[in-house]
Chains A and B, each alone.
Chain A
């Protein structure tokens, strides 16, 4: 294997990892606040179609990404209204959001099928990314750097800030947080909105960077991998980053190995790997009784303040 192939492999892994990392970071915050939003796939699709449509109309990818965040956040807030204000079942509502997102995005994107836009590519000067080594560092879309930044921010927020502490308190013991005067529903709304925005960016990475086009169900189930990733990472941002790149490597490495003439295992097995890994991690978590690696205690439990 020469340098060019290794660099290309690294870059495809980054491409596979970035969107699921972004969406999973959002879901991590949502779940830390005690809400389970299974609508990640739907929100990603809404983000993907919005990002593509706005970019193809305005020609400015920044606006596309921004609008993708807004649109996916709106979908997330709809979920929030149903589950937080009306206390509907989170699992059922989340699944409905996914189905809704698939339908809405194909309806909204109908006029954009068959069009292309320029890739939202590296913002660094072209000369910098010319050398193959520097391309590994500077050759990505701004969204990739954004995903690293956000991983850091989420870790810092949860660990070091007061707001992060409140968020975790709401997720671990909604009743206690309420009794000392925090607005449980308010915090959860904010978390759900953040989850939507991140899923939106993750989604538009597909339609603007990886495959600059719109087609129905463009994300092809990656939202579910993001959901699995949160569990795999045991709700820790650092591990989430690691897991995203591990999942990304698993998803793409087989293709490179096969193309080079090595056959490791059946491709179907590798496609199932993220889910198998998640089940294994879940089993490990329930075997090990240490506190840090558990699901938020109030996950998926509706909260209604008694007046």
Chain B
């Protein structure tokens, strides 16, 4: 039995009208585990935040009334988010997910004061005892897209609409190009930077400019379906971003990489319930089910679908990682030898392009 102090009584009675205040509530299942989510955008953005919300729904379905969740939408990155995170912490949440890169410092700052609460920060790189980070291996999905593009493209040129030259985006471009060149050794990826995550008009213009330069398939690391629509109008092909965007371009939409955060959320919540939550970094992909491809367009022939699945399966069982050598960098110099592959550390600071990328 823990020693009762005035402060502890105050702390716990602030929670609920519990009869057994000092004994770990989850073990008894009386009190649900309180889980908080901080979202960058609105749930209805049908993109990043939407995917996290789906993950939360999966967790609710899995745990039922064993958890009580709280969400806060439209939280601007920066000081405002610190206030929101602190509020959640004060409200007695046991586990708080902060789902955007810009919440990194605020999460760490709040976590310092609330040492008993577990925090998980998406896409960040700074951790502490009670702050873990998590991300998904989107580049694995890009490799599957690359395989499809390599088969489907007649011109052998893909356009790639990119946002900002950070490792996350660069590794996507490289994984896509490597996979496509395995199919068609002359394949080229033309990259256009639009300096925005979301600017439909500019993304559409970029798609048109790429198409004019011979690209007949467009991939994107920006959030709007504008490029897909441009391809639909011209009878070409494109990949969706973050969710199934086929309703915008039923003919052009080949497939998309969908984020399934629920897998991770369920595991983390379970960890906190069982008292064996560990910090550190989680970087999951196809294997763990955090990303998956949305249904293939029926215009993709069966053998190409099989090839795409083979790329995915090779990544899952480790027989053919996305960044397995041999391959050269943009200048034609060998970067990774046969039999070798890039490790996570290399990927996290990737600032160079593979052969076949034009940017």
Q: Which residues of A contact B (CB under 8 A)?
A: 4-5, 8-9, 12, 15-16, 106, 110, 113-116, 119, 206, 210-213, 215-222, 251-252, 255-256, 258-261, 267-268, 271
B205 within 8 A of partner (CB): yes
Check A220/B233 contact, CB under 8 A, given A12-B209, A116-B248, A259-B192. Answer: no
Contact B198 A222 (CB under 8 A): no
Q: Mark B182-197, 1 if CB is under 8 A from A, else 0.
A: 0000000010111110
B170 at interface, CB cutoff 8 A: no
The answer for the CA separation of A303 and B248 in the assembled complex, in Å, is: 48
Interface positions of B from 34 to 69, Cβ below 8 Å from A? 41-42, 44-46
B residues apposed to A, CB below 8 Å: 41-42, 44-46, 159, 190, 192-196, 198-206, 208-210, 212-213, 215, 224-226, 229, 233, 247-248, 358
17 CB contacts below 8 A, A to B, read A5-B213, A15-B201, A106-B42, A116-B248, A206-B200, A210-B200, A210-B201, A210-B226, A211-B203, A211-B224, A216-B44, A220-B200, A251-B205, A255-B194, A261-B358, A267-B194, A267-B195
A268 touching B46, Cβ below 8 Å: no
Bound CA–CA A4/B208 (angstroms)? 12
Closest Cβ of chain B to A130, distance in Å, is 15
Q: Is the CB of A211 within 8 A of B42?
A: no
Q: Are B209 and A258 in contact (CB under 8 A)?
A: yes
5 additional contacts, CB 8 Å, given A16-B201, A268-B195? Answer: A4-B212, A115-B247, A215-B200, A215-B225, A221-B199
Q: Which of A5, A8, A256 has the most B CB atoms < 10 Å from its CB?
A: A256
* Cβ of A217 to closest chain B Cβ, rounded Å: 7
Chain B residues with CB under 8 A of A9: 209, 212
Establish whether residues A113 and B44, one from each chain, have CB atoms under 8 Å apart when the complex forms. yes
Chain B residues near A211: list those with CB within 8 A: 200-201, 203-204, 224-226, 229
Chain B residues within an 8 Å CB radius of A267? 193-195
B46 touches A220 (CB 8 A): no
4 nearest A-B pairs in the assembled complex, by CB-CB distance: A255-B209, A220-B199, A259-B209, A211-B226
| CB-CB nearest in chain B for A116 | B248
Does the CB pair A271–B46 fall under 8 Å?
no
A106 nearest in chain B by CB position: B42
Is B45 a contact of A222 with CB atoms below 8 Å? Answer: no
In the complex, what distance in Å separates the CA atom of A16 from the CA atom of B205? 8
